[in-house]
Structure 1
Amino acid sequence: MTVPRSTLRLQLHKGFTFDDAAAQVDYFASLGVSHAYASPITTATSGSTHGYDTVDYTKVNPELGGEEGLRRFVEKLRAHDMGLIVDVVPNHMGVGGSENAWWQDILEWGRHAAHARFFDVDWHSPDPALRGKVLAPFLGAAYGEELQGGKIKLAYRADQGRFVIEYYSHVFPVCPVDYPAVLQEAPELAQRFSGLTTQPADQPRAADACTALATIAQTEGGQAAIAAVLAAHSSETQAGRERLHRLLERQHYRLAWWRTAADEVNWRRFFDVSTLGGVRVERPEVFEASHALIFRLFTEGLIDGVRIDHVDGLAEPREYCQRLRARLEELSAERPEALRNGSGHTYFVVEKILARGEPLRRDWQVDGTTGYDFMNDVGALLHDPAGAEPLAALWAEITGKSSEFADEALIARRKILAENLAAELDRVTRALHRIARDAQTTRDFTFTSIRRVVAELVVHFPVYRIYPVGGVRSAEDDRYFSQALEKARESLAAADHVILDQVAQWLGGKLPDEPAQAERNERSERSERGDRQRERAADRSRERDRNQAQAGQNPQASTGSQRRAAQTLFSQLTSPVAAKAVEDTACYRYGRLISRNEVGADPGEFSLSVEEFHKGNRERLASFPHAMLCTATHDHKRGEDVRARIAALSEIPDEWAATLKAWSTLNTPLRRGPNGGHDETSDSHDWAPGPAAESMLYQTLVGCWPLTLAPDDEAGVQELAERVAQWQLKALREGKLRTSWFAPDEAYEQACRDFLFDIVSPQRRNGFLQELSSFVARIGPVGAIDSFQQTLLRLTAPGVPDLYQGTELWDFSLVDPDNRRPVDYALRRQWSEEIDAKGPPSEQMPNWRDGRVKLGLVRRALALRKHCESLFAQGEYLPLAVEGEHAKHVIAYARHAGSAYAIVIATRLAAPLLGDKRDVPLVEPSVWGDTCVVLPEALHSRALFDWLSPHAPKADGERLFLRDALAVMPVALLVEEGVPGCGG
């Protein structure tokens, strides 16, 4: 049970706990999945709806039901012969608040805290105000304003005997070293803390003193003394504010307005999120402490595999993955005997965004990615390449923007680097500047010139990051680095080129005097991987070098160590810039067709050919046969069926252009001016929402309009509008043009919301609403065919298909939190039982609008995977030729193992074949004419059984005609009757 046959992703939170999931296990089993695949189970920030803000790695989240709830859930899974994969978040933890004991420790004791090296903090900041301190950018306004307003308060925790600083839900400990100064009004209490230092040896004495203080403070005199202390630090008086300020200045943190983080934060964040602090999992003790619970649960047999979140955020993804693989295989021998696998192999995938042509590194020893690359491939396959140019021209015409996504992405990269991640850019620059100062030939390279060079490399970087070995870029790394290097050279003045070339060498190039040393380094790395003791020793050595290099305290620190530190910082900058600029900014600005604006996708790549899709599948089978395959995730921007329907617009670009313009004209009177009033200058772009946002709004409405929603259903339309409004607000702020999370323009946002609700108001039921509903009805069957194609390919291609919660019915969700709404399992159970009674999915075609046919497709395809497990797990992938007049409208391939075959056939780009009558998502059999699939020789003239219908088409020699194979469904999954385990 170590390698899944298929998975079901579940988003757990206090509204959907382990017990709630356990109550649905029998339904999950009926779908045909082999493993539940859960969001993070470690303790997260209270009320977290996603679990990625871990505050305690050592405990199962009590809001999910704790460890006992987990055990009950697993017991139900085992009873249905199912396993559990869990999401692990090694890169970051939730900080702020008061729930993270590790973070509270470093706030209290600074660099002498037991957990000081657990977080990626630069304790040697060049800013004197931050030297030895942690920036705490959690204030809602400027520090002085919040202090004057009495928002920052000294408080006493009676149960702990400790003083803390409170700011709303945030709690900041006061270091016990400062208690004598705090307790001036109670000298008899202060004396217990005299002589304390921050050194680790004194910290236990401080804890004892706090325990004594808690006891004394319970007395009447003690309570009076504490009250006097708090009054002396009250912000209600000038003297109290000054005293509180002096106390704060002595702490190991500097309270600051949240806006300061982008420029001054001195610790690594998750992207630009200042409530998530980067964890130094590359340190052996941090690795063990943060994974101890997962390892124990794995050893006890409660979990069977792991999914690693945001692996590119780690200092050394390769080393982390190799270490985790080694530990899991080592522990697998201790698992319950019934769960052991002969090979000891444990399922282990990573969340990784791959650019087109970028390979997942095989030396990471993982089973593959979590499937964004497949989602990108199959999504691009749905698009008609003929629509690319006219839709790009339409976008440029109506918005006045560039028709090229790359132009928008470059602007966004520069903005993100300058405004959101400037502090991280400074940190990379400082690391390189230290290297420059250590050599006579580069000592005159200024900080500013190096920063300029690094910025250009970052904004032009074509992939998330590089992975040097022994401080040297591999050939694969160099391929991408060289692209950034050449683009940076074009952007920079000639005077900066010498600095650019030197920085390129420091960031993993082979220096002229050390080619042999680079090879020795690589051999050493390989040796360390095979020797656990030497690996950990090397970790400690690199840690010392890094700390000394950052502090500037060791002029003799090796150039190689300094370079590796700089490379890590550089890689931990390029990845968040790519994510924030492309996925979270440019994808909300560029709208040629927003079905391509998805996590892991490049909107500049409009479509993918059948041949390219086949090539990707064959490469995955050869390299990562157990990689996940997904088409919907907790991170997607649009549900899988929203994207599929919008993709249908690529087949009718002229019709869509005319429709879009007509709608815009129809709704012109409803536009709002920049301050919310009705717009009188429709020729100007200075109106709400504006041409770009309006275009993307119409695409969104087309994509998510429920097939069963009537325009006169006021309640249904209102519910949909509320969901779209939530998406619109996030889209506008993420786009960072006229409003943003950083500086929201509430008047503009309200005007956009008003426009949305005006165009879908009840009085438009015979106007825009009717036109919208009619248009969706016309393209709905094309979108449904795209959805059937996408679903069947995911369930039959090489890899492990993942089913995101609830998407066995139509998935018309939008970006989070919409895609994490509660799932109606009662409805799915009911329809699942009805499908069992009525037979194969084809019987549900009359009800295609409600999604039951998709549910049947998922169930039947997963049932075949179970019946013919080895066929799909290890079988060959054979692209099949399609011939005839409509060959370009079909994709076909076979899975083959031994004597067993499964033939997959799907209709694609169906709009011209459906004609004007588009009531049912099925091409009339006669329309296919002579179009046929060329079958493998073993199946010539054989009768085949369609797993999705009662149909049994027979090949005419080597040819299987589509008029027979796709007579009742737009997709087919054929097996030869009589083949053991695969017959009807």
Structure 2
Amino acid sequence: MNHPGDPPPMAIPVSTYRLQLNKHCRFSRAADYTDYLHRLGISHCYASPYLKARPGSTHGYDIVDHNALNPEIGDDADFNHFISRLRRFGMGLICDIVPNHMGVMGADNAWWLDVLENGPASCYAPFFDIDWHPVKKQLNNKILIPILGDQYGNILEKRQLKLVFSAERGEFSVYYFQHRFPLDPQTYSFILSSQHQQLLNFFDTDDPVLLEYQTLDNSFSKLSPHSEVSMEATDERNRDKEVFKNQLARLCADHPSLIQFIKLRMADINREISDRGQLHALLEQQAYRLAYWHVAGDEINYRRFFDINDLAGLRIEDDAVFEASHRLILRLIAERKIQGLRIDHADGLYDPVAYYRRLNDINTTSGLTASPLYVIAEKIVANYEYLDSDWPIHGTTGYEFAAIVTGVMLDGAAEKAMTRIYSDFIGRHQDFDEIVYQAKKYVITTLLAGELTVLANQLSRIAETSSKTRDYTLNALRDALSETVACFPVYRTYINSYTVRKEDAQYIAWSIEQAKQRSRAADKTVFDFIRAVLMLQAASSNVPRDALLKFVMKFQQYTAPVMAKGSEDTALYEYHRLISLNEVGADPRHFGYSVNAFHHFNQERVKKWPHSLLCLSSHDSKRSADVRARINVLSEMPQQWRAAVYRWRDLNRERKKNSAQMIISRNDEYLFYQTLIGTWPLRTPNETALNDYRERIANYMIKAVREAKQYSSWLNPNEDYEQAIRRFTDRCLEAPGNTSFFQDFSEFERRIRPAGLYNALAQTLLHLTSPGVPDIYQGNELWQFALVDPDNRKPVDFACHAQLLNELEKQMLNNRQALLTELLDTIEDGRIKLFVVMQTLAYRNRQAALFRDGDYLKIESQGSLADHLLAFARKNGDCYCLIVVPRLTLSLLAPDSLRLPAAVWRDTWLLLPPEAPVHYQELFCRKELQAEAWQGKLRLSAEQLFQDFPVAVLTSPGLDQQTET
């Protein structure tokens, strides 16, 4: 047994709690609430990245130093105090790490600044995925830096680029606001101008200081150029430049007259602001080219995190890069301060599987920890995709689980009706397949066109090696690649050797066939060539197999961000049939899942990935689980929904217009109404709360239309349309007495609210008891009706949550039955969800082996409401636990009632296998229940089961002896 003060020995967490660490939630604050999390039942904190990130970062993914803690979160002492608090309660820590990229630009990433200063000659140049020899000859041995807010020439004329000298460090840089661009030391001579006539105003011609200055100037000019990359040249350059800079700093410190002269020179250079001026001439000599940010999509020559220019991709497959970027994390693992890792954006890595194996090998062969490291990967899995069970990880972050739970809690029979309502309301049919395809094409041709160009150039070089393929032009290859990527059915394949998995071959064949059908190319044999290359079967004997494999692995790195930006960040914001299905890892084409599909999913998880994380809400969610649960109710009432949205359209017709007569689209209006359904305040808001809610919804709607890229976008915001969105939102959500819509909508929402809350409660219990490790996103132990970030990353009032937990613990001791009644009568305050979480996790901790290693048994139901029940059992040896939740409860609830009466279940039963126990105790109400024999089986009355509480966990008496609070 683990003792307080010891790090937890278990590799598999019982449960995790995601904490968003930033300047609002520091290590010290997290340490203060470890007691609360322990009493909640959490075994491991699961922290967002806490290595040094860009100042002000709310998420921590823009890391600028992998080997330092983020000072905004805390120092070493703060971190160690947090760890000691976790250990005090026998808890562990899972860290979210970011191996794929780093935050660049600014002035705080030493690796990146060194690359800017020294170009290919930098010792950190191999760390970043940079194409130093792109097609555009002007960028040879240069990095394109798309940072400027206007055309380069205009920025020069506005004097927004400033040459600056650090006398203390002997360094020159150009600044663009907060962004620092170090100058190549070989070009310092351009500024130092040691033969300049004005120097004689400060020194005599034979002054030793002047002679030393002139010698130093000459030394800088003789440094090897940044394009010289031989080991001898780079070592000499990197050694000598630092010596010379230190010498310049010493000279300036000892002789202020030198600083005066250098300032005069810089004033001269900064004064000439045309493309014939000295500043431009100086910048042209650097290892980078400053450019308007709009050119990034076409010409950028470093790999990014998606299309974010200030997140540069790392070559983590390189041993030196891995070691340099994992030094601190590996030390913390060795010190047993970290028990698990979450690998962010694993599909962006050159070779994810090799990366997992390296982590696993380090952990198992070097004796870093006494037990295996718990490793999960952020990975989105398509419905028809399976992870390779040979991967040395414990599973994914669980997006697919959130999708199956959302799907089973809606009425799939309403698909046709909901499709027709949506199509009729917006006036056209929306085909999600076509939306995704077009969205991916948009991403390829605008946001990620530069990366496609790099791939096309590599493919062209391969084609040139054979007489049978050399006639494929660069444009033909580029167009064919674009079609293939746009048709790719999964995020990526995982080819990392000369053997191609069957699944990967199928995905490649599918994409090639679809691309052929869509292409208008005159010669479609180009697709056969691409297929042969992707399958490592190119016929030319002149093509080294290594070149083919390198191309395939770079291709795989490209399809993942295209899918993410096209599907997650575009298509999901354009298709609004039922937006609870529009979630990361979900597929809106699948309108719900049957109970049997839910069982099959869990049974497969037990076999293949029993310790994968289970997620309902995360920092990446488009909508929190509770929002989705409320929206799902619409599937149970399609005709009432149709009547309502048409009524609201008529009521709000005049509210759509602004002074310019621009109106929001019907598609966005349909999104707006569903968003209100999912987020409407459970308590009547006062004026301040209503203003805050109105602002939240307006900000969300503007973000949504930018992501959809139909009427506005992040690249080209349409201010008129966004103003129409904001005005429509404000007018619809005016004070209750000022709008008939407000009153009509609130009455409609009030009728469906109880069913939505029952959905949310049911899926909470499924989350905590299904095979895998449940992860609770911060604050979601109570009702949480959050939208996409930044709405879902707001600080949590842990003090309030802890007080509610204290009160529940006291009330359970005094009168459990009275508490259950109160929780049901006040279901809207969220304490009922907190109660279910704390009670279920307490049981899960006591029976950790049952949930870690136990089987999953499907439980059948019988009777008039059989389709409204979902039940399964967990079994491990003699330990047996039965979980039962209701679904599709709208029709079972009496009007204006928050209670789901037990009497509705009068003729509905659970059918148990013969080997199941006869006697049970219900976890929440502590009631004893007994199954009865029926036709060779055992059965339990659903009416008896739900007499006192709307969800149930039945435990085997005698096997759960530990008394709980």
**In the TM superposition, what is the alpha-carbon distance from 1:980 to its structure 2 partner?**
4.2
Q: Aligned ranges for residues 5-84 of structure 1 at < 5 Å?
A: 5-84=14-93
Aligned to 2:627: 642
**Which letter does structure 2 place at the counterpart of 1:165?**
V
Aligned to 1:540: none
Please state if 1:666 is matched with 2:651. Answer: yes
**In the TM superposition, what is the alpha-carbon distance from 1:747 to its structure 2 partner?**
2.1
Q: Deviations over 1:669-702 (max 9, x none)?
A: 1112xxx3174xxxxxxx4322111110111111
From 908, 913, 921, the counterpart of 1:936 = 913
Residues 402 and 408 in structure 1, CA contact (< 8 A), matched pair in contact too: no
Matches of 2:519 and 2:485 in 1, distance apart? 13
SS of residue paired to 2:524? helix
Aligned to 1:302: 337
Matches of 1:217 and 1:396 in 2, distance apart? 73
Residues 628 and 802 in structure 1, CA contact (< 8 A), matched pair in contact too: yes
Aligned to 1:705: 680
Q: Deviations over 1:85-119 (max 9, x none)?
A: 00010001001111111111111111110011100
SS of residue paired to 1:13? coil
**In the TM superposition, what is the alpha-carbon distance from 1:388 to its structure 2 partner?**
1.4
Residues 579 and 671 in structure 2, CA contact (< 8 A), matched pair in contact too: yes
Aligned to 1:822: 795
Please state if 1:457 is matched with 2:437. Answer: no
Residues 342 and 378 in structure 2, CA contact (< 8 A), matched pair in contact too: yes
Aligned to 1:346: 373
Structure 1 residues 238 and 259: CA distance shift in structure 2, 3 A: closer
Residues 926 and 963 in structure 1, CA contact (< 8 A), matched pair in contact too: yes
Q: Aligned ranges for residues 496-515 of structure 1 at < 5 Å?
A: 496-511=523-538
Residues 472 and 510 in structure 1, CA contact (< 8 A), matched pair in contact too: no
**In the TM superposition, what is the alpha-carbon distance from 1:150 to its structure 2 partner?**
0.1
Q: Deviations over 1:182-205 (max 9, x none)?
A: 211466352342311143212211
Aligned to 2:207: none
Aligned to 1:545: none
- Per mean C-alpha deviation after superposition, the further-off stretch among 834-843 and 483-492 is 834-843
Matches of 1:125 and 1:83 in 2, distance apart? 47
SS of residue paired to 2:874? strand
**In the TM superposition, what is the alpha-carbon distance from 1:469 to its structure 2 partner?**
3.8
- Per mean C-alpha deviation after superposition, the further-off stretch among 68-77 and 558-567 is 558-567
From 649, 669, 677, the counterpart of 2:659 = 677
Matches of 2:660 and 2:217 in 1, distance apart? 66
**In the TM superposition, what is the alpha-carbon distance from 1:237 to its structure 2 partner?**
3.6
From 59, 66, 89, the counterpart of 2:98 = 89
Please state if 1:906 is matched with 2:885. Answer: yes
Aligned to 1:371: 398
Q: Deviations over 1:211-235 (max 9, x none)?
A: 111122232211211111211211x
**In the TM superposition, what is the alpha-carbon distance from 1:612 to its structure 2 partner?**
1.0
Matches of 1:903 and 1:512 in 2, distance apart? 59
Q: CA RMSD in A?
A: 1.7
**Which letter does structure 2 place at the counterpart of 1:708?**
R
Q: Given the two structures, how large is their TM-score scaled by the length of structure 1?
A: 0.91
SS of residue paired to 1:63? coil
**In the TM superposition, what is the alpha-carbon distance from 1:792 to its structure 2 partner?**
0.6
**In the TM superposition, what is the alpha-carbon distance from 1:566 to its structure 2 partner?**
1.2
Residues 273 and 280 in structure 2, CA contact (< 8 A), matched pair in contact too: no
Please state if 1:592 is matched with 2:577. Answer: yes
Q: Deviations over 1:371-403 (max 9, x none)?
A: 111111111111211221111112211223433
Matches of 2:244 and 2:114 in 1, distance apart? 17
Matches of 1:765 and 1:931 in 2, distance apart? 47
**In the TM superposition, what is the alpha-carbon distance from 1:976 to its structure 2 partner?**
1.9
**In the TM superposition, what is the alpha-carbon distance from 1:834 to its structure 2 partner?**
1.2
Matches of 1:153 and 1:403 in 2, distance apart? 51
**Which letter does structure 2 place at the counterpart of 1:285?**
A
SS of residue paired to 1:111? helix
Residues 976 and 982 in structure 1, CA contact (< 8 A), matched pair in contact too: no
From 851, 858, 869, the counterpart of 2:848 = 869
**Which letter does structure 2 place at the counterpart of 1:934?**
L
Aligned to 2:929: 953
Matches of 1:250 and 1:635 in 2, distance apart? 42
Residues 393 and 403 in structure 1, CA contact (< 8 A), matched pair in contact too: no
Structure 1 residues 247 and 646: CA distance shift in structure 2, 3 A: same
Aligned to 1:260: 295
SS of residue paired to 1:51? coil
Segments of structure 1 that go 5 or more residues without pairing to the other structure are 515-555, 680-686
Aligned to 1:467: 494
**In the TM superposition, what is the alpha-carbon distance from 1:48 to its structure 2 partner?**
0.6
Aligned to 2:693: 720
Matches of 2:259 and 2:449 in 1, distance apart? 47
Matches of 1:862 and 1:395 in 2, distance apart? 40
Q: Aligned ranges for residues 175-574 of structure 1 at < 5 Å?
A: 175-184=184-193, 185=196, 188=214, 190-197=217-224, 198=226, 199-200=233-234, 201-218=236-253, 219-234=255-270, 236-237=271-272, 242-331=277-366, 333-335=367-369, 340-341=370-371, 345-493=372-520, 495-511=522-538, 558-574=543-559
From 171, 175, 178, the counterpart of 1:166 = 175
Please state if 1:609 is matched with 2:594. Answer: yes
Please state if 1:920 is matched with 2:902. Answer: no
Aligned to 1:537: none
Structure 1 residues 862 and 763: CA distance shift in structure 2, 3 A: closer
**In the TM superposition, what is the alpha-carbon distance from 1:241 to its structure 2 partner?**
6.5
Segments of structure 2 that go 5 or more residues without pairing to the other structure are 1-9, 200-212, 227-232
Structure 1 residues 678 and 108: CA distance shift in structure 2, 3 A: closer
Q: Deviations over 1:343-393 (max 9, x none)?
A: xx2100000000002111222210000111111111111121122111111
Q: Deviations over 1:471-512 (max 9, x none)?
A: 443101122222212211211247432110111110125456
SS of residue paired to 1:953? strand
**In the TM superposition, what is the alpha-carbon distance from 1:951 to its structure 2 partner?**
2.8
Q: Deviations over 1:230-263 (max 9, x none)?
A: 11211x3457961100110110000001000000
Matches of 1:240 and 1:654 in 2, distance apart? 66
**Which letter does structure 1 place at the counterpart of 2:360?**
R
Structure 1 residues 910 and 225: CA distance shift in structure 2, 3 A: same
Matches of 2:23 and 2:365 in 1, distance apart? 34
Matches of 1:220 and 1:432 in 2, distance apart? 57
Residues 466 and 473 in structure 1, CA contact (< 8 A), matched pair in contact too: no
**Which letter does structure 2 place at the counterpart of 1:971?**
V
Matched residues, number: 918
SS of residue paired to 2:396? coil
Aligned to 1:539: none
**Which letter does structure 2 place at the counterpart of 1:82?**
M
Residue identity (%): 39
SS of residue paired to 2:337? coil
Matches of 1:434 and 1:192 in 2, distance apart? 41
SS of residue paired to 1:172? strand
Matches of 2:651 and 2:154 in 1, distance apart? 48
Matches of 2:739 and 2:517 in 1, distance apart? 55
**Which letter does structure 2 place at the counterpart of 1:677?**
S
Structure 1 residues 148 and 921: CA distance shift in structure 2, 3 A: farther
Residues 167 and 259 in structure 2, CA contact (< 8 A), matched pair in contact too: no
**Which letter does structure 2 place at the counterpart of 1:640?**
A
Structure 1 residues 979 and 210: CA distance shift in structure 2, 3 A: same
**In the TM superposition, what is the alpha-carbon distance from 1:789 to its structure 2 partner?**
1.4
Matches of 1:821 and 1:57 in 2, distance apart? 25
Q: Deviations over 1:708-737 (max 9, x none)?
A: 235xx2222111111112211211111111
Please state if 1:886 is matched with 2:865. Answer: yes
**Which letter does structure 2 place at the counterpart of 1:383?**
L
Residues 5 and 866 in structure 1, CA contact (< 8 A), matched pair in contact too: yes
Matches of 1:378 and 1:805 in 2, distance apart? 19
Residues 156 and 274 in structure 2, CA contact (< 8 A), matched pair in contact too: no
**Which letter does structure 1 place at the counterpart of 2:150?**
A
Matches of 1:661 and 1:217 in 2, distance apart? 76
Please state if 1:118 is matched with 2:100. Answer: no
